[in-house]
Every structure is written in C-alpha cells, then in structure tokens.
Structure 1
Amino acid sequence: MPEHPDLSSGIHADFSLNDWLAYIEALHPKDIEMGLGRVNQVKQRLNLQYNFPVITVAGTNGKGSTCAMLEHIYHAAGYRVASYSSPHLLRYSERIRVARHEISNEALIRAFQAIESARQEIQLTYFEYGTLAAMWHFCNADVDVAILEVGLGGRLDAVNVFEPSCAIVTSVDLDHMDFLGYTRELIGAEKAGIFRANIPAICGDLSPPQSLINYAEGIGADLKLIQHDFQFERDQSCWRFSSPQCTLDALPMPALVGDFQLYNASCVMTAIQSLQSVLPVSKEAICDGLLTVRLHGRYQYLSSKPDVILDVAHNPHAAKSLAANLKNTATQGKTIAVFAMLADKDIRGVIQAIAGEVDEWYVSGISHVRGADALTIHQLVNAELPDAVIRLFDGVKNATSKPVLMLMKMIELSY
C-alpha cells in the first residue's frame, strides 16, 4: 500500500477539479517531455507499492480497444478492475476507472493532492501527474488487476515506471515521429521498452519490426507473436482463437466495429491465458466481455437520420481502418467528413487514407495550442483532392449543426 501523505494542511484546499486541471497543465513548460526520472522520483516518495497484476498496453493503434476488452472481460469474470487510459473525450475522470466506474471528482482531487505533496520541487508533465494520480488511487482502491494504457511510445512513457505482469504491443506504425523516430524499426524499439524479462510480451502486429523482436529476445521476455505463437480464424458470425496452450471455439465477435478488432481480441485472449494461474477467467466471462465492450470515439454511432459517427482516427494507420469500416457501412446519402486535427499529426496522410470514402469535407480548426487551423486543413485537402467539395467552419459545433446534418451521413474526425 502507498504511504499516505499528510494532507491535513489541505494542499490547494480551495481548488476545484477544474482548478487542479488548469494547475497541472501549466506546471511543466512542455506538453511532452520524455523520460522516467521525474516520475520515478515521485513514485518513490509516494512509496507506491502494489500486489495486484498490472497489464501494460502500448501500440500505435488498437491499445484503447485492447484495454477496453480486457476491462470488460475481467469485470465479467467478477474481478475489481482498474483501468487507466488517455486521452479523454469529455471529462478527465474518463481516464481513471475502477469497477467500470469513473473516479469521482473528490477522489481525483485527493489523488492530485497526494502527488502535489510528494513532488515538491519536481516538475511533472500533465500526463506524468495524471499517471501517478491514477496509480495512487488504484493502490488505495482494493483492486484485483490494473490495465494501464501507454500514452506515447513505451520505453520512456510514465506508465513504464510500473512493473507489469504482462505487456502488449498491439501495432507499430508511424506516429509521434518527432519523439519516437521516423521508421518502424525505431518506433518498434521504443514500444518494446514495456517488455520485461520472463513475463509475457505479446505483439499483435502482423509484421513486427525486427527491433521489437531483438529487444524482447535480448532481455529474455516471453515473446508471443500473432500468427506464430497464437492465431485466430473468423467464421461467418463467430471466431476461433488458438495457441499451444488452448483453443477457444465459437467466440462472439467483439462489439467494437471492424474486422481488425480480432487482432486486438487475439492479443487479449493471449494475455488472459498467460495470467490464467493468477486471474482465472471462464469462457462465459470472455464471451460476456466481448459482447458488452464499449469504447467511446471508435466508430461510435451518436445518432441516426442522419447517421452521425464519431471516430478519433488521428494517423494514417487508424484512418485506413476507418475507411474500411465506412466501406462496409451501407448508406444512401452522402458521406461528409467533419474534419479537425492537431497540427503535429500527419494530416496529409489521414486525408489520403480516407479520401475514397468521403463525398464532402467540412473542415474546422481546434481551439487548442496544438490545433491546426481550418485554413491549413483546407489547403491540405485541396492539394490532395483539387476537385473536392470543401467548406470552412469556425468550429466543429457549427459544422455539426442541425441544418448541416439533415439527410446526410457524417463522420467526425478529431484529435
């Protein structure tokens, strides 16, 4: 259990949750600063210790879906599950959940106070602060298992200061190149940094970079590769998972949309089987979790007539999956992309990936320091698609007003 700091003095006792979030966002001069030194120091001061298994999940895409499936399956099996994910869509508390319930504002403030008391002179980034707060909360919440989603990369991500019982890399592709490198080999080495000696190291990428394999073998991790150490086969309405340890037939398709979700689900099955001795799970719980899993922002239907679909595809790899889902979605009207992105993303690559499934583009800026403005996005769309119908809006809200949506299918890309 962590050492409880003395909060009797009421550190920032007058702070609301919004005050705290503004405070920690301004605490560090950089949005992102790679490295584990600061987090490790504060972790040691907090005396954060835990006796529950931790599953760490990294990957360019698919880690959110993988975490959600793990969370729902272990919950269905009767475990008290902790889950930490990022980013959030509407509320910061979405990031920190126990027993599938978001952390309360009061509990989140207590966690922030604990981190503030321990960090003293150490400058933490927004993500580092939140990661420590989440794990402090989990250590005090009597949980059975914690699922931690890596924010960026793996090796130098704040989540990586916590020792996992199992580590998953869902996929490796080009994203965050300024921090992780400009090749899959460099990025693969960064993501492999979550692997540990003698623990299951699972990879769901069909063509994993050699750097990832070399790292896992070099440290003596128990590496398990899709289509080599575990496989899946799809039938018309169900699927089959197989590995040397077990075979599971007639599994229901995950409730998350897309055939690619079976790659994530196969990683989930491998993790569950790897931890079966400490966290037994029945096939019934697996089926229940797969059927009930939900994840906001992943091909999420918001309304119909017109169909309004939300997807947070923010790199070309994710956009290709989104395009495949759109292609498989029957529609009688137009497909309009309400399109806004951060400036440091591969906007051109996303446009190229989704272009064949979009009839009109409603582009908007994002009111964030990292957001691309509408004019920049307009120029990039026009450069790739000179004949495209493009309309500018001063905000996503205006682009999705009722008159705009009438009799149209809309897809909203954000983040």
Structure 2
Amino acid sequence: MDVKMSNIPAKPVTLADWLSLLESRHFKTIDMGLDRVVQVKERLQLQFDCPVIMVAGTNGKGSTCAMLESILLRAGYKVGLYIKPHFLDFNERARIGGESASDAALIASFEAVEAQRGDISLTYFEFTTLAIMHLLAQAKLDVVILEVGLGGRLDAVNIVDADVAIVTSVDIDHVEYLGDTREKIGFEKAGIFRAGKTAVCSDPVPPQSLIDHANAIGADLWLLGRDFNYTGDKQQWNYGGRGQRRNALGYPSLRGANQLLNASAALAALEALRDRLPVSAQEVRSGFVMMDLPGRFQVLPGQPLVILDVAHNPHAAATLAQNLDNMGFHPYTYAVFGAMLDKDIEGIVAQLKTRIDHWCLTSLPLPRAASGEQLQERLLEAGVHAEPGPDAQSSILSFDSPELAYANALSRAGENDRIVVFGSFLTVAGVMAARKSGFH
C-alpha cells in the first residue's frame, strides 16, 4: 500500500498514524534476514523471563496457537499471544490474558522501538513484531506464544529462542522465499528449532530435511506417530505422548478435518512443559471447548449458511473441500474468493471447483493481489466453465471488493444454499467488516 509521506504526521500520535508510517517506510514489503532485527532487539534488551512456545507451519499454526492460549488461560496462567494477520483491528495481533492490547500499550512499544532503531530500516512486519514482543516482555507473563509469519529460519519472530518450537504442517507456499519443494520449505521451518529444546512436528509425513536439521543441531524432536499420537471416535478423542495420556477429550470447537493434528501438537508442547506449566485434564477439556478463532472454517448462524475460511493455498483448500463435503446437502454453493497473485490459484481452484456452483470473485486492496478479472482467467485455465446457471447469471462474476462480491452471493443464494468466503485474509476481513456494519 503506497502512502504519501505528506499525509502522515512527523511524529505519529494515533495507532493508525503509526501503521500508515510503517507501511510507507521500507523499500520492500518482505525483506528476509535477521541481522537488522537482531540489532534493534539487542538495543531494546528484549528478553522473556518465562517459557516461550513458537509455532510455524504452512497451515494450522493459528489454530494451534489459539488452542494453547485457551488451555493455558483456563489453567489460570497469564498468557501473552502474538498472532497474525488481523481481520478488523491491528490490536488483534497482540493479546494479554485473552484480551487484545490497547492502542496506548501498542503506541508505547512502537515509540520504544523507534527510539532504539536509529538508522536501521525495518519492514512493517519487522517493526511491529519487535513492538509486540516488547509489549509482551513488559507484561510479566507466565507464558508467551508466538506465531511465525513466513517460513521460520529468517522470520523476524525467530530472534528469540523458544523453549518449545512447533511445526504444524509443511506444504508448498511462498515459493519465491522458501523454495519450491517440501524439503526446502521443511528446512526453513525447522529453523525455529533450538539445540537441547523440544521441537514438535505434527505433519504426518515430515520432510527429511526437517528431521535431519533437528538431529544435526541436537533438538529434542517429537514426531507424530512416533512420540505422540491421537485416536478417536465420533464422540471423543484421546492423546498419547511420551509419558502422558489425555483421555475422553471433547473435540475442539474449531471445526475441520485437521484440528486433531493441531490439538495433538498443542498437547505435546504442554507435555514437554508440564513441570513448568502444569495443566489439569479438566483445563485441557474446557480449553478445547471454549476456544475461539475467527476465519478457520467458521460457520455463521442463519440462512443461507455462511462459512469463513482463510484457505489460501492448495493444502488448505483440500482441507476446506473435505470440510464442505462433511456438511451435508446444499442445493447450491456460492464462493466469494480473492487471493494474492503469487498464490497457486489454479491449485486452490482445482481442490474446490467440483464443490462450487457460482463464483463471486473479488479484487483486494493490495498491489500484489489478483484482480477479479485475473482470477477469472485463472479459473477458466483451471477448467471452471463459465456457463449460465439456473438463475440465468454466469457462474463466474467479478467484483471490485469483497463486500460487493458477498452482496451479490447473498442476493442470489436461496435459504438452503451456502456461501463460502475463502482465500486471502483480506477476503474474509472484507466480509466480516460488511457483516459488522449490518450487511447480512
């Protein structure tokens, strides 16, 4: 997003001022490498005096963070969480005790980073990561949970040493930064592991590069199927770890096919930390039931049914397809879909094209986003046929915003149909904002 410097106060006052300034500053949106961030971290004397859990992964990392936060809050711990991106307010990225950070607290940490930055140029993500870590470090917490942004090894979050590092899944995404194979990407994600510390991987088929790196540095690697596992039926499920069992657990309130993989990773991490952060069986059960995370196969009440899901790569799209299949019959499914141009759009569409009858494509307010017209070209290339539907409208339409695409889907869908809003976080956020303003 290009912001003219003349529109930004010389000294930012509000949180919005700060965010506008940071968006305008650095010449690259993504600038991989830790040297600059580490220098500012050292000037800030940034450190945590409590256990740190770090979570990376192609998909599932947000869900895993939310599960850990919910369980640890139920156990009475003061929990700090850094999670991203946000949907409606930047404050969603920093949570203390289950509540979003205030504007005032964030601004104070922004000012602290700015005071120590000197002439070091930081990206929006690097600056805000340092600021949120500074905020959490000041909060006298019992435990900190940090979600990695992109990859792991060179991500700004990786400037701290985690007591437990989790890699939830490894699949193809961000190929221009992380590589074009699971082996290359697995090595990047394994970069959050530390010598002598617990490293958890809940991917059912972990890349050999991840295993080799963990072994090479002397991390204590926990693998799904070897060191921990889960079993279950339709009513409940069980976790088994190296030295701990959790039986008769209710399913996480987050819906979806992969949530037991994420839940098992969370319980493995808590097992590894059980001497420092003991958690009872009842706290685990209530933590899974009471958790809340927007935009992860989130089914909204009412008719037609509306589903929000931030599936933005083929792996996540395959899970979304499976979840849609498990929902029962709906006469027609409408999609509101927007994505970044660098995503594997054909791969995403290939997973979902047989489940969707009508596509409402949307442009998004970022330069690197695909326009509605570009998405339409990709859909046609992926074999979606733009034939008139039973309501005499084309099954592929393009719109300038998620709000307009959603409005069109809503105007056409019958009460027994469903609307699935998916793709970029900005797609889901646009529809969330529209609904918040009273557009149903």
Tell whether the 8 Å contact from 1:297 to 1:311 is kept in structure 2 after alignment: yes
Maintained 8 Å contact 2:241/2:271: no
How much does 1:89 deviate?
0.9
**Paired position in structure 1 for 2:163:** 165
Partner residue in 1 for 2:53: 55
Instruction: Deviation per CA, 1:217-272: give whole Å up to 9, x if none.
Output: 00110000001111100122100111230111101111111131001101111000
Q: Match for residue 390 of structure 2? A: none
RMSD between superposed Cα atoms in Å = 1.3
**What corresponds to 2:402 in structure 1?**
396
Name the stretch that deviates more: 330-339 or 63-72.
330-339
Partner amino acid for 1:379? Answer: E
Q: In the alignment, which residue of structure 1 is the partner of 2:82? A: 84
Q: Percent identity?
A: 46
CA distance in 2, matches of 1:221, 1:202: 10
- Post-superposition offset of 1:386: 4.3
CA distance 1:174–1:14, change in 2 (3 Å): closer
Paired amino acid for 1:381: L
Equivalent in the alignment of 1:5: none
Contact (CA 8 Å) 2:64, 2:262: kept in 1 or not?
yes
Would the aligned equivalents of 2:41 and 2:130 in 1 still touch at CA under 8 Å? yes
State the 1:333 CA deviation. 2.7
Match of residue 414 from structure 1: 423
Q: Paired residue for 2:373?
A: 375
Aligned to 1:335: 333
Unaligned 5+ segments in structure 2 are: 1-8, 387-394, 425-440
CA contact (8 A) 1:230 1:270 kept: yes
**Does the CA-based 8 Å contact 1:28-1:125 persist in structure 2?**
yes
1:116 aligns with 2:114: yes
Give the 5 Å matches for 1:21-36.
21-36=19-34
Cα 1:405/1:397, change in 2 over 3 Å? farther
Name the TM-score, length of structure 2 as normaliser.
Answer: 0.90
Are 1:15 and 2:23 counterparts? no
Aligned to 1:289: 287
Deviation of 1:406 after TM superposition, in Å, equals 4.8
Q: For 1:391 and 1:65, how far apart are their aligned partners in 2?
A: 32
Q: Once the 2 structures are TM-superposed, how far is the Cα of residue 382 of structure 1 from its aligned partner?
A: 1.4
1:159-198 alignment, distance < 5 Å: 159-198=157-196
CA deviations on 1:316-354 (whole Å, 9 max, x unpaired) are 000001001100112433111111111111111100011
Contact 1:342 1:372 in 2 (8 A): yes
**Which residue number in structure 2 is paired with residue 299 of structure 1?**
297
Is the partner of 1:318 in helix, strand or coil? Answer: helix
For 1:137, which of 135, 138, 150 is the aligned residue?
A: 135
SS in structure 2 at match of 1:332: coil
Asked if the contact 1:303–1:309 (Cα under 8 Å) also holds between the matched residues in 2, the reply is no
Q: Which 4+ stretches in 1 moved above 4 angstroms?
A: 11-14
Distance 1:139 1:324, change over 3 A: same
**Which runs of structure 2 are paired with 1:218-257 in the superposition (5 Å)?**
218-257=216-255
Partner of 1:149: 147
Match of 1:362 among 344, 360, 363: 360
CA distance in 1, matches of 2:16, 2:316: 31
Q: 1:54 to 1:383 in 2, by over 3 A?
A: same
Would you say the 8 A contact 2:360–2:406 is kept in 1?
A: no
CA distance in 1, matches of 2:182, 2:344: 15
How far apart are 1:357 and its partner, in Å? 1.3
Q: Cα offset for 1:387?
A: 2.2
For the Cα contact (< 8 Å) 1:331–1:409, is it kept in 2?
no
- Alignment TM-score, normalising by the size of structure 1: 0.95
* Runs of 5+ consecutive residues of structure 1 not aligned to the other structure: 1-10
State yes or no: 1:276 paired with 2:282.
Answer: no
Cα distance in 2 for partners of 1:386, 1:164 equals 45
**Partner residue, 1:323:** 321
